[in-house]
Amino acid sequence: MQKSPAAPPDAEARREVRPVICYPTDTLPAPDPDHLAVATRDLVKRAGLTVPPREGRAFRVAAGQTFRITSVEGPQVGDLNLWNAHDLTERFFSGKTRALHGTHVTTGDRLWSTLPHLRPLATIVDDTLSWYGIDAFGGGVHDVIGTRCDPYTHALLNDGDAYHHCCHSNLTRALCDGTGLPVAEAEPLVHDVLNVFMCTGFTRDTGRYFMKASPARPGDHIDFLAEIDLLCALSACPGGDCGSTHSSDDAACHPLLVEVFDSAATAAHRPPEPARYDRSHGR
């Protein structure tokens, strides 16, 4: 391997160039704050399910409904996938959500869909962990930087060991159950997740991805307004609070509660249009 070259004489000057925000969001279409506020009040429960530890479950939410993910029994990370219920090729776009809103999301942030659609699939309307902010290690909660634990990476790092309850596999089985698709068709539709309740960041000195024990406690929840009709899948990660390990049965794991509500926002809701671009790409 090549050694790092010596720093040039103007190295410090180059490092001191000030950063600019890649995507200023002041021209981003803003949700109506009154509509978001209504979506958190006078909720009428329409459906509920429990995601067992180290398993995944699928559920459907209609446009304008609010859905809530709650920590019950103990701190537990949840890996969330979202699809347009009528077109599974339109799904959550973790990378662009990160580019627009930052590494971690909270109340007011939106979960964007893949190109060529690029519209909000859901908007976060309540987050009991919004107080956490960014800690001294650079960690925050509800990240869009991790991908999901998966059996391929686990095998790569562990001499071929097979583990079947990584979030990638849990989400695949949940999507099979939610759609009737066979595993081979469901797996490619599983995508990078929103890591609900997970506390992560990048180490300041080496830029390595880190996780630490989730600050979630029983009763903590995050609420989303479904912007379009959604098929959702949630995995209760085998890492539990993700404070030590994952991709095994070693960590203490807890269930996650999912509830779907109607509110006064439900009937009044108008789904957002896809982004305006003619898809000609200069041809």
User: Residues 120-159 vs Zn ion: string with x where CB under 5 A?
Assistant: -----------------------------x----------
Nearest CB to Zn ion, comparing residues 69 and 167? 167
Least Cβ distance, residue 246 to Zn ion (angstroms): 5
What does the DSSP assignment read for 43-111?
-EEEEEEEE-TT-EEEEEE-TT-EEEEEE-SS---EEEEEEETTEEEEEB-HHHHHHHH-SB--TT-EE
Beta carbons within 10 angstroms of residue 280's beta carbon:
6
Binding flag, residue 167, Zn ion (CB under 5 A)? yes
| SS3 at position 214 | coil
Binding residue (CB under 5 A) for Zn ion from 222, 236, 237, 253: 237
Nearest approach, Cβ of 158 to Zn ion (angstroms)?
15
**Cβ closer to Zn ion: 56 or 64?**
56
CA distances to 12, 80, 213, 254, 270 from 241, in Å? 40, 15, 5, 9, 36
CB of 152 to Zn ion, least distance (A): 13
- Whether 225 contacts 121, CB under 8 Å: no
**With respect to Zn ion, which residue has the nearer C-beta, 36 or 167?**
167
Interface size with Zn ion, residues (CB under 5 A): 3
CA distance 228 to 243: 34
CA-based angle 227:232:233, to the nearest 5? Answer: 155
Distance CA 113, CA 19 (A): 27
Residue nearer to Zn ion on the CB measure, 149 or 258:
149
Q: How far is the CB of 154 from Zn ion (least distance, A)?
A: 10
The two tokens of residue 241 are 């609070």
Minimum gap (Å) between residue 37 Cβ and Zn ion: 33
- Closest to Zn ion by CB, 114 vs 200, is 200
Residue 84 or 170 having the CB closest to Zn ion: 170
Summarize as ranges the residues that interact with Zn ion (CB under 5 A).
149, 167, 237
